Structure formats: C-alpha cells, structure tokens
C-alpha cells in the first residue's frame, strides 16, 4: 500500500524522504517519487519500480532543499508508470501533492478541472488534488487545502507543498492514516510510524477532517473549517531495532521466530489470582457479557482464518453460535446483526478498508463491536466500542505470521472469557485451559528449535505447480492458512479443503505431482483424517503431515512428518501453524522469491 513521508527542517529533505520511504517499503509499492523545494524550484523525481531506482536518480542529480514530500505508490487508479507516480503537480508546477487512499469522485473533478482549463497529465485520482489546490490558492496553502478536501469524496491522507510557501507542508486526512513525528527543530509527516522513528518518538496522530500546517518549528492543526483543534499525541515505545531484521535473513523469518514472545505478551495479565479471565476491553458488565447469545466475526485473509479458529473455540467452550464472514461480503450482505450481537472485527493492521466498513455497518445496526488489532491508534481502534490488542510488535513482512498466532492467542482468551461469563465452564477448567495456553509459547519455541525435517521436506517440493491442504475441525482453518501462506509467498497454487469434502470434487486433482499437506494432529477426528490420507495416497499423492509427537504410526502413511508437541485439541491451532509457515517460507526462498514483499500484495489494504 502507498506510503507518505514529508520533511521540513534543517537536513537535506531528500535524505530523510528516501530513508523514511525505505522504512515503509514493507507496505508494498510499484513506483516512488520525491518533490523537494530547492532554490526557488520544485524539483520532482519519480521512478517506476523499487526505491533503489529513485535513490539512483536522486544521487545522479542531487536535489538540495530542506522541505519536501515523498511517496511510494501501489497502483489503484492508473498503471504503475512514471507519469502516474506521485508526487503530482499542478499546471504551474509550483504545487506538489502526495496522496494515499482513493478519491471516489475524481472523474467528475477531472472533467470540471479540464473544463476550467487545467491540463491533467496522469491517469490518477490524486492529480485532481494538485489542480484543485491550484484553483483555490490565494496565498495561503492551508486554506486552499481545506477548500480542496471539502470537494473530495473518498479516503485520503495528503501532504502538499507550494513554492510560494517554501518552508511548510500542509497535511490532511480522512480514513487513511497520517501522523506527524515531532522533532527538535524539524517535523516529519508520515503514513506510518517506522518512517519517523529515526528522528523522534513523539507523534501527533491526525484525525479525520483535520488539517495540519507543519513547519520546522511547529505544527498547528485545524478542523476543515479552520478552527484550531488539539490533536492526539502518542509516545511510541518501539525502537528502530524492533522494526529491523535482527540478524535474520528476512523480516518474515524474524517474525516467525518472534511468535513465542508475541503470544506470551498477548496472554500477559489475562488471568487473575482467582482464576477469572481479565478482559476489561470488552467494556461490558458481567451481565452484558453473560447475555451475549450470538457472535459475528468480520475479517479478511489471514485474520479471517483466525476468525474461523475462534468460531470453533467459542462454539465449543462457550456454546454461543458464531458466524464468520469476510468483511468484503459482510458490508454488502444486509447482515443480520442487532444490539444482541457481539461483533468481533479482526484486523492486524487496523486499517483494512473492508473490515472498517463492516465495523461501521455493524454499529449502525446497533451491534457492539470489539476490534482485535496489533496497531495502537489504528483506525479500527477509533471506530470500535472496545479494542483487544495483540502484542506482536510491528510486523514488516507482508505475509502475516506472528500477528496471526497472536490473534489466535487473544481469541482463546475471548472464548474462555465468554465460557466463564456464561457459566458454561467452571473456574477449574478455565484455569487449566489457560495454563495450558500459557505453555504454547514454549511449544512454539520447541518447534522452532529444530527445523531440519521441514528443510528436508521443502527441498523436495520446490518445483511443484499445485498443492492441496486438508484438515478437519480446528485443522481446517490451519490448512486454509497454510495454503494461503504457500500461495502468497511462493506463487505455488494451493487450495485448502475440509478433508472429508475432498472426495466431493477436489480428489480429481490428485496426481503424484500434486502434494497433499494434511493437518493430522491428535483430536477427535484423527482416525477420519488418517482415512482421508489413505484416500489421497491411493491416488498417487505424496503426503506431508503435521502430526503430534509420539504418533509414530503416521509415518507409514506419509512421505514427510512434521511433528509438533502434544497439546489439548483446541489449543493445537498455533503449534500446527508453525511448520506450515516455515514450510512455505523455505519453499519460497528455494524458489528465489521475495518473501517479505510478495508480488501484487500490500501489508495493509486501505482501499476497497
């Protein structure tokens, strides 16, 4: 997804912009550019492809100046070309704009601008903003930006510079994240926190409809009418090292290894001395929690898979019916939710447009919405009634790993809380399960301590074109997540099915060239899973199983066995996930793929 950095201060702006954009690379992008106010000129450099191309262009023709804006673009309106890359300029070349989000009425605005004599040179929605600012500019950039944003439908985070006011950036946002890092004699605008951490830990978080005038010496914020407002300030604890690779080859591998910590920290303080699950974030009285009789979970992608795990947990432990829907379907489905429904929105980034739209829809219908997210201050936290944070730390790799297992940890806590509040499960059982859950980080450490079996297995399947992932019960979402990981980072086609469903169609795909990965950990359907394995083997498939330590028999039915330590059946989701993450990672690396930034993907999908 697009990234924004803006700088005003004593340093060379281009250095700060390129450095900041590099910190946002994880968001995914296909072109990049900077605009620097330099000796009475607005110097704009843009390149298609990775930042290295832009850095080389800037190095070749250095742009000197201490105010500037930069952008990494993930194409939405218009192809990833240099003409469509940001920053975009107005007709005079004196105004430059970078933008994240989507201007929904841009076609009408383009027509209007063209009729008024403006010449638009790109296919983007963003360029309309530069021309609108031009048309409203009468010597005060902030006023022109305020007038401009009143004309925009859709979502935006904007940063604008004007040659006539060379020492300032005007920034504005609606439904797209934008923060300002407050430095000492310098300020940095950014779409995401890692871009400013090198300079400051004090961050001003702009809210929807706010417009900031940013100079080296200060920031003033107004609403859309120009009335001064007091913005929200945050202190950020993350250090830069936390956002770097820490000795691992890739962010993804580092994040896979960070899972024990992420799960541990997510579970911290969740049970008191009396065996009561602590979840004050629900913002509900015990009576209200006890009266919940329906749960609706909204999420996309990997978070959706966490939602499916939660369905099994909540239905089994708390005996509350749970519906799980992908957010993009929910918002247009006339969903049956009301004030009796607890809606849980799962989104690691907290910025996924479809999930946010679902949250709004659910609240309009009277439901109470609890968000589960990893990002403090993210949009979902402002739009929900309560927030349960996962404490996974920043996840830079585009493929979700530690945020997924941290979500499952948080959802285990939620399910236990509901079971306890409903009186379906006694304190003794809740305590026993929570204690076992608290040992999962050690289990994950044990799996990560010896990856040799996974390495061996991966080496044999680097050239396959297609694969099937099977499971039953809690193993179904884990198979789905395993398939998603493999396809998104290695580009091998992978499909997941409930194992019992296979003979209703997918079995036709089985050949010796289509390996079948089966989640076959101990549980009440284990024997059934073994039968399904035999069915696929009878058709010539090679089988890779994830099985429980001590299950020596399973080796007779599989080419490869990836063992995980034993745990309660419903707690096996996290352990069973780990070998599948590592398997996908290793296969992708052997295929030479960029695991941290897979093609066509973005870390947070802030457009519909």
Active site residues: 2, 603
Measure Cα distances from 148 to 69, 162, 297 in Å: 18, 14, 37
The residue within the footprint of ligand F6R, chosen from 349, 390, 577, 597 (CB under 6 A), is 349
Measure Cα distances from 348 to 208, 262, 330, 354 in Å: 21, 13, 18, 13
Crossing angle of helices 427-438 and 440-449, rounded to 10°: 30
Min dist CB 84 to ligand F6R, Å, is 23
Q: Site residues for ligand F6R, window 419-478 (CB under 6 A)?
A: none
176 contributes a contact to ligand F6R by CB under 6 A: no
Residue 392: half-sphere exposure toward Cβ, Cα within 13 Å? 30
Q: What are phi and psi of 418, to 5 degrees?
A: -65, -40
Number of shown-chain residues binding ligand F6R (CB under 6 A):
15
Closer by beta carbon to ligand F6R, 14 or else 355? 355
Q: Site residues for ligand F6R, window 478-517 (CB under 6 A)?
A: 484, 488
Residue window 296-335: x/- pattern of binding to ligand F6R, with contact defined by CB under 6 A: ----xxxx--------------------------------
Question: Interface with ligand F6R by CB under 6 A: which range of 42-50, 234-242, 348-356, 574-582?
Answer: 348-356
The helices-and-strands tally (H runs, E runs) of the chain is: 19, 24
β pairing state of 322-326 and 294-299 = parallel
Q: Site residues for ligand F6R, window 2-61 (CB under 6 A)?
A: none
The residue within the footprint of ligand F6R, chosen from 399, 571, 573, 593 (CB under 6 A), is 399
Quote the DSSP letter at residue 278.
P
Residue window 263-302: x/- pattern of binding to ligand F6R, with contact defined by CB under 6 A: -------------------------------------xxx
Min dist CB 382 to ligand F6R, Å, is 15
Measure Cα distances from 516 to 469, 535, 538, 543, 558 in Å: 6, 11, 12, 5, 10
Confirm if 177 and 378 have CB atoms less than 8 A apart.
yes
Cα–Cα distance measured from residue 14 to residue 45, given in angstroms and rounded to the nearest whole number: 10
Min dist CB 573 to ligand F6R, Å, is 16
Residue window 79-118: x/- pattern of binding to ligand F6R, with contact defined by CB under 6 A: ----------------------------------------
67 contributes a contact to ligand F6R by CB under 6 A: no
Closer by beta carbon to ligand F6R, 169 or else 369? 369
Closer by beta carbon to ligand F6R, 47 or else 305? 305
Confirm if 33 and 217 have CB atoms less than 8 A apart.
no
Nearest residue to ligand F6R, using CB? Answer: 301
Residue window 355-394: x/- pattern of binding to ligand F6R, with contact defined by CB under 6 A: x---------------------------------------
548 contributes a contact to ligand F6R by CB under 6 A: no
The residue within the footprint of ligand F6R, chosen from 12, 14, 187, 347 (CB under 6 A), is 347
* Rg of the chain over all Cα atoms, to the nearest angstrom: 25
Min dist CB 484 to ligand F6R, Å, is 6
Query: What one-character-per-residue DSSP string does 43-74 give?
Result: EEEEEESSHHHHHHHHHHS----SEEEEEEE-
Min dist CB 18 to ligand F6R, Å, is 26
Confirm if 358 and 330 have CB atoms less than 8 A apart.
yes
Burial class from Cβ neighbours inside 10 Å (0-12, 13-18, 19+) for residue 151 reads middle
The residue within the footprint of ligand F6R, chosen from 4, 309, 320, 400 (CB under 6 A), is 400
The two three-digit tokens of residue 342, written as one number: 């607890």
Non-local CB neighbours of 576 within 8 Å, separated by 6+ positions: 475, 478, 519, 521, 546, 564
β pairing state of 294-299 and 466-471 = unpaired
Closer by beta carbon to ligand F6R, 20 or else 28? 28
Min dist CB 88 to ligand F6R, Å, is 27
Confirm if 271 and 434 have CB atoms less than 8 A apart.
yes
Min dist CB 356 to ligand F6R, Å, is 9
β pairing state of 31-38 and 67-73 = antiparallel
The residue within the footprint of ligand F6R, chosen from 312, 605, 606, 607 (CB under 6 A), is 605
Min dist CB 488 to ligand F6R, Å, is 6
Q: Site residues for ligand F6R, window 585-604 (CB under 6 A)?
A: 604
405 contributes a contact to ligand F6R by CB under 6 A: no
Non-local CB neighbours of 497 within 8 Å, separated by 6+ positions: 468, 469, 470, 479, 506
Cite the beta strand spans of 313-402 per DSSP E: 322-326, 341-346, 368-373, 386-389
The residue within the footprint of ligand F6R, chosen from 72, 124, 148, 348 (CB under 6 A), is 348
Confirm if 110 and 57 have CB atoms less than 8 A apart.
no
126 contributes a contact to ligand F6R by CB under 6 A: no
Question: Interface with ligand F6R by CB under 6 A: which range of 106-114, 125-133, 341-349, 382-390?
Answer: 341-349
User: Which residues here bind ligand F6R, judged by CB under 6 A?
Assistant: 300-303, 347-349, 352, 355, 399-400, 484, 488, 604-605
């Amino acid at each position: 997804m697009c990234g924004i950095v803006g700088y005003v201060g004593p340093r060379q702006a281009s250095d700060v912009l390129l450095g900041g954009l590099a910190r946002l690379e994880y968001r995914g992008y296909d072109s990049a550019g900077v605009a620097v106010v330099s000796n009475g000129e607005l110097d704009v450099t843009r390149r298609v492809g990775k930042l290295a191309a832009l850095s080389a262009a800037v190095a070749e023709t250095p742009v000197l100046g201490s105010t500037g804006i930069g952008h990494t673009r993930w194409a939405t309106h218009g192809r990833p070309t240099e003409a469509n890359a940001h920053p975009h300029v107005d007709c005079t070349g004196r105004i430059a704009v970078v933008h994240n989000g989507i201007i929904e009425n841009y076609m009408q605005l383009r027509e209007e601008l063209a009729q008024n004599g403006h010449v638009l040179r790109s296919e983007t929605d963003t360029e309309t903003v530069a021309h609108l600012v031009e048309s409203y500019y009468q010597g005060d950039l902030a006023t022109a930006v305020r007038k401009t944003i009143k004309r925009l439908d859709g979502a935006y985070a904007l940063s604008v510079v004007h040659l006539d006011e060379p020492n300032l950036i005007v920034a504005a946002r609606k439904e797209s994240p934008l923060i300002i890092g407050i430095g000492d004699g310098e300020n940095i605008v950014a779409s995401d926190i890692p871009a400013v951490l090198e300079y400051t830990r004090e961050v001003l978080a702009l809210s929807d409809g706010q417009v900031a005038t940013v100079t080296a010496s200060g920031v003033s914020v107004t609403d859309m009418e120009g009335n001064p407002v007091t913005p929200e300030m945050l202190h950020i604890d993350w250090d830069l090292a936390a956002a770097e690779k820490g000795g691992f080859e890739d962010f993804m591998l580092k994040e896979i290894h960070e899972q024990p910590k992420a799960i541990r920290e997510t579970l911290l303080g969740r049970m008191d001395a009396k065996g009561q699950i602590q979840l004050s974030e629900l913002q509900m009285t015990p009576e209200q929690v006890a009266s919940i009789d329906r749960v609706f979970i909204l999420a996309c992608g990997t978070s959706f898979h966490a939602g499916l795990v939660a369905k099994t947990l909540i239905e089994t432990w708390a005996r509350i019916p749970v519906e799980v829907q992908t957010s993009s379907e929910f918002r247009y489905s006339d969903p049956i939710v009301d004030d009796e429904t607890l809606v849980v929105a799962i989104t690691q980034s907290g910025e996924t447009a479809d999930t946010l739209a679902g949250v709004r829809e659910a609240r309009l219908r009277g439901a109470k919405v609890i968000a589960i997210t990893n990002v403090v201050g993210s949009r979902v936290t402002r739009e929900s009634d309560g927030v349960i944070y996962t404490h996974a730390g920043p996840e830079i790799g585009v493929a979700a790993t530690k945020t997924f297992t941290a979500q499952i940890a948080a959802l285990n806590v939620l399910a236990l809380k509901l079971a306890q509040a409903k009186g379906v499960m006694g304190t003794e059982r809740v305590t026993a399960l929570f204690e076992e859950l608290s040992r999962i980080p050690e289990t994950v450490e044990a799996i990560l301590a010896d990856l040799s079996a996974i390495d061996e297995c991966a080496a044999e399947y680097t050239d396959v074109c297609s694969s099937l992932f099977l499971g039953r019960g809690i193993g179904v979402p884990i198979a789905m997540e395993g398939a998603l990981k493999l396809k998104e980072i290695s580009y091998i086609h992978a499909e997941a099915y409930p194992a019992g469903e296979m003979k209703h169609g997918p079995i036709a795909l089985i050949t010796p060239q289509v390996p079948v990965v089966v989640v076959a950990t101990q549980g009440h359907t284990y024997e059934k899973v073994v039968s399904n394995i035999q069915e696929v083997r009878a058709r010539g498939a090679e089988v890779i199983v994830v099985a429980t330590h001590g299950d020596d028999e399973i080796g007779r039915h599989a080419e490869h066995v990836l063992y995980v330590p034993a745990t309660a059946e419903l707690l096996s989701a996290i352990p069973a996930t780990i070998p599948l993450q590592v398997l996908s990672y290793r296969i992708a690396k052997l295929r030479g793929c960029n695991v941290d930034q897979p093609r066509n993907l973005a870390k947070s999908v802030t457009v519909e």
